[in-house]
């Protein structure tokens, strides 16, 4: 693992750095889910995290390591919402100005929350140009340090604390299911899981409409796609990162995909059985577990539930339609 962007020591360091800042979120179980799948499922509920998603872990870990000059110049980020909120809050906690590039069609709740945490929001059309082009223009005008949503070693290490906490609480796992967009969470969790549960099988889960990670691992090189049309707005990345891809290729056993209707069914299941409000992206791993396509019988399975930032009207409409 020495050639990879991060090691378990980086994840452990991040855990110390975010202690007292990020919540140590609960791990829940469900007798109904166990009976339905034949496994023993452990849900790591990052919907209870500060800002409503896991992203505060990586955002705070990254900004906390900036030097004085970098903090004075501020940070710039892009995201459909959860990384945006995390950057805005982490920057405020550390006394750093934050500018966040967000798509025009980002959920209103995520836009409002990002502004509420003190971030300056700059909107763009995700179907007309990539966000990094907007970021490049802003940096040329303003300066500042770019904190990407996934392809950054400090972000990746921070996200890996999710799996570290899950395994510390649930014990050894046979399988770990992790939602996947650009691979920051999955890469960090893979590093942590390989260190703490070496025999654990690790699978990423992405939207069926945007299976670039699955294609990339099969091909052996990064595949870039157009922004996928999916309700999982947090997993609409166009490709894996230059840093995340090698980690996934070295440590992850495969990528599963789920359809939007399976995400809605998972939302409904979590709401009715575990009393959890979870956004579509947050349900990727849950949907894969409930789909029946993965044999979970007799296995101890860790499932990362990434966030709960969804407009309530949107949530109700999706679940009602199901």
Q: Same fold for the domain at 8-54+152-321 and the one at 56-146?
A: yes
Tell me the whole-structure pTM to 2 decimals: 0.95
DSSP labels for 130-174? -HHHHHHHHHHHH--EE--SSSSHHHHHHHHHHHHHHHHHH---S
How sure is the predictor about 321, in pLDDT bands with cuts at 50, 70 and 90? confident
Predicted confidence at residue 311, as pLDDT, reads 86
Predicted confidence at residue 79, as pLDDT, reads 87
Predicted confidence at residue 2, as pLDDT, reads 60
Residue 243 tokens, joined: 């840093």
- Give the full edge-to-edge strand order of the sheet including 27-28: 27-28, 40-45, 300-305, 175-179, 201-207, 254-258
* For residue 1, pLDDT beyond 50: no
* For residue 34, pLDDT beyond 60: yes
* For residue 110, pLDDT beyond 90: no
- What are the residue boundaries of the structural domains of the chain, listed by start? 8-54+152-321, 56-146
Helix (H) or strand (E) holding 255: strand 254-258
Fold of 8-54+152-321: Rossmann fold (3.40.50)
Q: In the CATH hierarchy, which top-level class contains the domain 56-146?
A: alpha beta
Please state the rounded mean pLDDT for residues 296-319. 94
Predicted confidence at residue 288, as pLDDT, reads 98
pLDDT digits (tens, 9 = 90+) for 47-87: 999 999 999 999 999 999 999 999 999 999 998 778 999 99
* For residue 125, pLDDT beyond 80: yes
Please state the rounded mean pLDDT for residues 302-306. 98
Contacts made by residues 215-223, CB under 8 angstroms, sequence distance 24+: 216/240, 216/245, 216/248, 217/248, 217/249, 217/252, 217/254, 217/255, 220/249
């Amino acid at each position: 693992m020495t050639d990879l962007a991060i090691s378990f020591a980086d994840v452990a360091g991040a855990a110390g750095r975010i202690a007292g800042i990020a919540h140590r979120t609960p791990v829940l179980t469900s007798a109904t889910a166990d009976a339905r799948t034949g496994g023993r499922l452990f849900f790591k509920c990052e919907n209870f995290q500060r800002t409503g998603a896991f992203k505060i872990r990586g955002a705070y870990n990254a900004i906390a390591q900036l030097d004085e000059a970098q903090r004075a110049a501020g940070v710039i980020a892009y995201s459909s919402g959860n990384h945006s909120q995390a950057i805005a809050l982490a920057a405020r906690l550390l006394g750093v100005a934050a500018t966040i590039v967000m798509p025009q069609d980002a959920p209103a709740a995520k836009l409002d929350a990002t502004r509420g945490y003190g971030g300056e929001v700059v909107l763009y059309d995700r179907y007309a140009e990539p966000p990094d082009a907007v970021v490049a223009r802003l940096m040329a005008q303003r300066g500042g340090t770019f904190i990407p949503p996934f392809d950054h070693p400090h972000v990746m290490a921070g996200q890996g604390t999710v799996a570290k906490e899950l395994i510390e609480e649930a014990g050894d796992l046979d399988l770990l299911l992790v939602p996947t967009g650009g691979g920051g969470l999955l890469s960090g969790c893979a590093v942590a899981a390989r260190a703490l549960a070496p025999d654990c099988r690790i699978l990423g889960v992405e939207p069926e409409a945007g299976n670039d990670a699955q294609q990339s691992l099969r091909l052996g090189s990064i595949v870039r796609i157009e922004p996928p049309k999916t309700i999982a707005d947090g997993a609409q990345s166009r490709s894996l990162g230059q840093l995340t891809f090698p980690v996934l290729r070295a440590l992850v056993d495969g990528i599963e995909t789920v359809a939007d209707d399976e995400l809605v069914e998972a939302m409904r299941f979590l709401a009715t059985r575990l009393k959890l409000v979870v956004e579509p992206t947050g349900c990727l791993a849950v949907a894969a577990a409930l789909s029946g396509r993965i044999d979970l019988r007799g296995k101890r399975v860790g499932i990362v539930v990434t966030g709960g930032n969804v407009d309530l009207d949107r949530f109700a409409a999706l679940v009602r339609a199901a």
